[in-house]
Structure 1
Amino acid sequence: MNDRWWTIGLVGLTLLVAGGATAQNGGLAQDGAGRGFAGLGDAVTGFATPDPDRALRFPQDHGAHPAYRIEWWYLTATLSGDDGQDYGVQWTLFRSALAPGDGAERDTGRSDATDGDGTGWSSPQLWMGHAGVTTASAHYSAERLARGGIGQAGVRLSPFAATIDDWEMRSTAAPQADPLDALRLAASGPDFRYDLSLVASGPLVLHGQRGYSIKSERGQASYYYSQPFYRVTGTLTLPDGPVQVSGQGWLDREWSSQPLDPDQTGWDWVSLSFEDGARLMGFQLRDRTGGSFTSGTWISPDGMPAPLPHNALRFTPVARATVAGREIPVGWRIEEATRGLDITTTPLNPQAWMGTRVPYWEGPLRFTGSHTGRGYLEMTGY
């Protein structure tokens, strides 16, 4: 591919890939008025759209979905080191399609291709990887970009592996187990490296209506599920040397073609692990009028999900910091009345800024109040 087409591909990647329409979800700079955050409110043609009657299929849905425009594999971990310090780790692979590919008029369930669709430079798939490590005094981040079809990046279903360059999320599960039951996670940047082992102690969790997650009053939606029960062990290598770590991990999987309303300008997303073993995924999507749409899932210690009614969660900023030249609400009061939830979050490092081409805030937190525990916070659109 000549330089002109490579540049076009990178521009397309910057415009189209997002992490996390929720969840968890990566972030992009806000687009122009009327398009929704980062263009994720754009109407699209030719791509598939989520169907509330489609049942999620495993292990097939762990792979790529080329019928849809955007997709991500997003893992965060709250860790404690043998040095007595807290750490946070992020690993994300984003897929974005420049154009509908083979089978894009329908959801065919194909998930066995290396990068989702196409071979060589003819593949319409673009890939972006983000990795980060957060400490109390520093935040390290790195980014990788790739074009699909040439073997540099992609997702393979059997055996499961999501890779970009030498970064990998690779299954180490037993042959008859779900591929996501056990993973090896590795990435590196100029100032960090990590190599982690993850073993799930609970089931996959479907958000919304059996995995159909609504994002706005007008009904924009995505498919969304998580594995929030990882036990994590491994090694972080930082400028001061290696440290052995252990803790909890949370993987989010999501795909769609137009997940946001055109008026939505960004989101605040949390994954929370309570001391009693329960968990909560929650997010608010902010709009141009100052309002928000919230959703979430309360997860029992044994993995049973209870979808929260829309707007049952309440997010109130309680602490702000100047981060990368902008004021960002880094501390939150989060409330949910039916379960008596009333907590205040505190970031490990208020400066946990992902200084990538598509910047956003992403970092670990602790929370106190009606419940205590640890979690992760992502914020976009500030």
Structure 2
Amino acid sequence: MKSDGKGKSYYGRYRRRSSRRKGWRAYLAPLFAVIAVLAVGLYFVGVSERESASATSSGPANTVGKPDERTAALPPLNLPSDDAPHASGMEWWYYNGILDATTGNRYAFHVAVFVANGLVKHTVMHVALTDLQTGRRFSGQSRTGGVPAKSIANGFDFNQDGWQVSSNGASHVVRAEFEGVSLALNLADSGQVVAHRAADSATPGLLDFGKSGISYYYSRPRMPTRGEINVAGRPIQVSGDVWFDHQWGDFDVLSFGWNWFALHLADGSDVMLYDLFDSDGRKVLTSGTVSTAKGSVPLKASEITLTPALKWTSPHTKITYVVEWNVKLPSGSYNIKPFVDDSEFDAHDTTANIYWEGPVKVSGSSEGQGFMELSGYDRLKAAPANRK
């Protein structure tokens, strides 16, 4: 999985370690998945009840014509200390980007660290790299009990199976080795921080998912990145702007799915769109943020129109995803389509779910590129195109 060195000695150790794990993984992985789902579910129920009661009792006085915000009862977003791990039910740190190589080729990647903190605490890492010239995709995943991280003030340092995802001050590091390829990236925290919020909310950095809970959520949309990837034994120097997300809270990720977009547009703006739906396909929340050098502006649900265009059915899992979208925003109309249709990530071994995650290109009122995530389609009873 993630690299703790290069060369034949690593792969020898990895093969021996992998062969020993195969026998017990077949038994333990499904068992851990069931235990984790039940544990986190019970945790969420208790926390949601306490949170609702707290928000009701300690929320600010109601202003005329405006209901109290549950989010206002929680501590405000506080950076840089909130870069560090929290004792919440669910938390993740996430990077994605399209990298330009000195050879002229282009590569896309995403890396995520998840920590589920219920009756059973565990840490999961997911990584994928796509060669945009050939469409070939490499992926890896790792899971362990507890939190394999060093304690860092105002940061984090996860080390698991030789992989590393860390932040210390203005410097971020991502290291991973999987399926014969590797990533070694250095990222600079020198850009804008975007604290997402609903358009009718006065609480930056928090989103209210209703009965599913409340989430802290902020992004660093453009982190200047340099480093090296290794494909087929060939080191390649790369650079580009990487999107970083950090999200945590006591929310139930099994109660909804989402269509999520993180877009870099050629006019210099950055767009995040979040379209949540329940297992019956009904809308839970549509939210978004447009960021420019002058600051960020939350989008109202009425200002966002997401229209499904083309679907793709996975030959591996038979799950159907909406992989192309037409999007209408106050700034214009856009078409979003994937570089590679087959960007499904089967995470059954680590998080008991399957999702679609991959790079996309943007055309229309402005050109651009970015990433799209489609999650919850494996639990969906009705097609997203039929949502009302």
TM-score by length of 1: 0.75
- Corresponding residue for residue 156 of structure 2: 161
Q: What is the alpha-carbon distance in structure 2 between the residues aligned to residue 320 and residue 255 of structure 1?
A: 30
SS at match of 1:83: coil
Q: What is the letter of the counterpart of residue 98 of structure 1?
A: G
- Corresponding residue for residue 196 of structure 1: 185
Match of 1:271 among 251, 262, 265: 262
Q: What is the letter of the counterpart of residue 44 of structure 1?
A: G
SS at match of 1:162: strand
Give matches, 1:2-151, under 5 Å.
8-13=31-36, 43-45=45-47, 49=51, 51-53=71-73, 54-66=75-87, 68-99=88-119, 124-136=120-132, 137-148=135-146
- Corresponding residue for residue 196 of structure 2: 207
- Give the conservation status (yes or no) of the 8 Å contact 1:13–1:127: no
Moved more, 289-298 or 55-64: 289-298
Larger C-alpha radius of gyration, 1 or 2?
2
Q: What is the alpha-carbon distance in structure 2 between the residues aligned to residue 331 and residue 381 of structure 1?
A: 17
- Are positions 1:228 and 2:221 aligned together? yes
Question: What per-residue deviation string (whole Å, max 9, x for no partner) do you get for residues 111-137 of structure 1?
Answer: xxxxxxxxxxxxx42111111111231
Match of 1:343 among 326, 334, 338: 334
SS at match of 1:61: helix
- Give the conservation status (yes or no) of the 8 Å contact 1:345–1:368: yes
Q: What is the alpha-carbon distance in structure 1 between the residues aligned to residue 49 and residue 145 of structure 2?
A: 19
Deviation of 1:5 (Å)? 8.8
For structure 1, which runs of at least 5 residues remain unmatched after alignment? 18-38, 100-123, 173-178
Return closer, same or farther for 1:81/1:291 CA change in 2, 3 Å cut-off.
same
- Corresponding residue for residue 12 of structure 2: none
Q: What is the letter of the counterpart of residue 319 of structure 2?
A: R
Q: What is the alpha-carbon distance in structure 2 between the residues aligned to residue 9 and residue 261 of structure 1?
A: 16
- Corresponding residue for residue 176 of structure 1: none
Give matches, 1:236-247, under 5 Å.
236-239=229-232, 241-247=234-240
SS at match of 1:43: helix
- Corresponding residue for residue 30 of structure 1: none
SS at match of 1:44: helix
Question: What per-residue deviation string (whole Å, max 9, x for no partner) do you get for residues 195-223 of structure 1?
Answer: 0111133222100031111235x684211
| Structure with more of its chain in helix, by fraction | 2
- Corresponding residue for residue 58 of structure 2: none
Match of 2:291 among 290, 299, 310: 299
Q: What is the letter of the counterpart of residue 91 of structure 2?
A: E
Q: What is the alpha-carbon distance in structure 2 between the residues aligned to residue 352 and residue 82 of structure 1?
A: 25
SS at match of 1:52: helix
Deviation of 1:346 (Å)? 2.0
Deviation of 1:95 (Å)? 0.6
Q: What is the alpha-carbon distance in structure 2 between the residues aligned to residue 240 and residue 346 of structure 1?
A: 31
- Corresponding residue for residue 54 of structure 2: none
Q: What is the alpha-carbon distance in structure 2 between the residues aligned to residue 212 and residue 231 of structure 1?
A: 26
Q: What is the alpha-carbon distance in structure 2 between the residues aligned to residue 41 and residue 372 of structure 1?
A: 43
TM-score by length of 2: 0.74
- Are positions 1:374 and 2:374 aligned together? no
Deviation of 1:247 (Å)? 1.1
For structure 2, which runs of at least 5 residues remain unmatched after alignment? 1-23, 52-69, 198-202, 378-388
SS at match of 2:82: helix
- Corresponding residue for residue 105 of structure 1: none
Q: What is the alpha-carbon distance in structure 2 between the residues aligned to residue 335 and residue 237 of structure 1?
A: 38
SS at match of 1:267: strand
Q: What is the letter of the counterpart of residue 366 of structure 2?
A: H
Question: What per-residue deviation string (whole Å, max 9, x for no partner) do you get for residues 46-65 of structure 1?
Answer: 89747424211122211111
- Corresponding residue for residue 354 of structure 2: 359
- Give the conservation status (yes or no) of the 8 Å contact 2:81–2:153: no
SS at match of 1:371: coil
Q: What is the letter of the counterpart of residue 211 of structure 1?
A: G
Return closer, same or farther for 1:240/1:334 CA change in 2, 3 Å cut-off.
farther
Moved more, 234-243 or 140-149: 234-243
SS at match of 2:72: coil
Q: What is the alpha-carbon distance in structure 2 between the residues aligned to residue 85 and residue 48 of structure 1?
A: 51
- Corresponding residue for residue 25 of structure 1: none
- Give the conservation status (yes or no) of the 8 Å contact 2:260–2:273: yes
